[in-house]
Amino acid sequence: MGKTAGNRDWTQIYAIYGIEQWQTLVFLLFHAFFFSLLSVLFLIYFDQICFFLDSFFLSGAARLAAGFTGAVTALSAVCLLFAAANFVYSDVPLQYEMAQRMVSSVGDWSSVKTALDLGCGRGILLNAVATQLKKTGSSGRVVGLDRSKRTTLSTLRTAKLEGVQEYVTCREGDVKTLPFGDNYFDVVVSSVFVHTVGKEHGQKSVEAAAERMRVLGEIVRVVKPGGLCVVWDLLHVPEYVRRLQELKMEDIRVSERVTAFMAGSHIVSFRKPSELVAGPREVRLDWR
């Protein structure tokens, strides 16, 4: 499957991290196959279908109805195949690539003693952070926090496979009330996670938005003054930026749009000021 930017084989990376939501992929591929088969049957038996539809439509309209239905069926198959391909790309290759971008936004990992990956999942970003700590010879550690103990145990396994287990700690905890003291971490990162908080209320509900804002507030609370936070997420980035401005964060940067899981995504980075000052903060668009 070729080499990654880091000269690693994709087969090895998939062997470590796998497909997280394989049920979704199976669902998309099954329906893509179904609609593909249906469109082929429309093509093969087009005349017979038109003859059958003649009893339901006015003269000449049967061919139009059959052609339109066949075209919609074929288009649905193409869209489902595209969605499946985008899902596979977003699930591992894109997350791996974005993890490298996120860790590269931290200037000096050798000075980082404590880092947090919020919603660590399988550990793609967590292990990328740990790899940077290992490369720089840092004595620091990165904590992966997730809502599921089962997930954290799986994440520790991937850290061992990546050879960075001595730099990684995983914890189960409530992301809306982080189990860490104020001003604890030098760096906080999070990858396609914050948008899932409160989803049981509905993505567009006031309750879900309030819970996402609470998570942002917790991120700001646990990062040290002068510390850097890098969040890659879907859908709700504008509301994150507004909240960060309200919290008077510094150096707020928003990356270019990246399509992930058939939705728009951005990386938002910001720094907690050493001293909070009044006034709105400028938002920079980083097009690198």
Q: What is the DSSP letter of 109?
A: G
Structural contact between residues 147 and 122, judged by C-beta atoms closer than 8 angstroms: no
* pLDDT tens-digit series, residues 36-84: 999 999 889 888 888 888 877 776 787 888 888 889 999 999 999 988 8
Give me the mean pLDDT over the 25-31 stretch. 88
Q: Residue 131: enclosing H or E segment and its boundaries?
A: helix 124-135
Structural contact between residues 245 and 252, judged by C-beta atoms closer than 8 angstroms: yes
Q: What is the per-residue pLDDT for 45?
A: 87
Percentage of the residues of the chain whose pLDDT score is greater than 90: 51
Does 280 have pLDDT greater than 80? no
Q: What is the per-residue pLDDT for 285?
A: 52
233 forms beta bridges with 266
Structural contact between residues 124 and 96, judged by C-beta atoms closer than 8 angstroms: yes
SS3 72: helix
- Map tokens 């470590």 to a residue: 16
- Map tokens 């960060």 to a residue: 244
Give me the mean pLDDT over the 3-21 stretch. 70
Q: What is the per-residue pLDDT for 86?
A: 79
Average pLDDT along the chain: 86
Give me the mean pLDDT over the 197-220 stretch. 89
Label residues 53-80 b or e (16+ Cβ within 10 Å = b).
beeeeeeeebbeebeeebeebbebbeeb
CB atoms within 10 A of CB 10: 14
- Round to whole Å and give the CA distance between 275 and 253: 19
SS3 269: strand
How far apart are the two ends of the chain, measured CA to CA in Å? 27
Does 260 have pLDDT greater than 90? no
Structural contact between residues 197 and 159, judged by C-beta atoms closer than 8 angstroms: no
* pLDDT tens-digit series, residues 211-256: 999 999 999 999 999 999 999 999 899 999 999 999 999 999 999 9
- Round to whole Å and give the CA distance between 7 and 4: 5
Q: Say what angle helices 46-53 and 61-89 make with each other, to 10 degrees.
A: 130
Q: What is the pTM of this model?
A: 0.81
Q: What is the per-residue pLDDT for 15?
A: 81
pLDDT band at 287 (very low <50, low <70, confident <90, very high): very low
- Lowest mean pLDDT across 137-141, 164-168, 203-207: 203-207
53 — phi, psi (to 5°)? Answer: -75, -15
Give me the mean pLDDT over the 17-44 stretch. 86
Does 89 have pLDDT greater than 60? yes
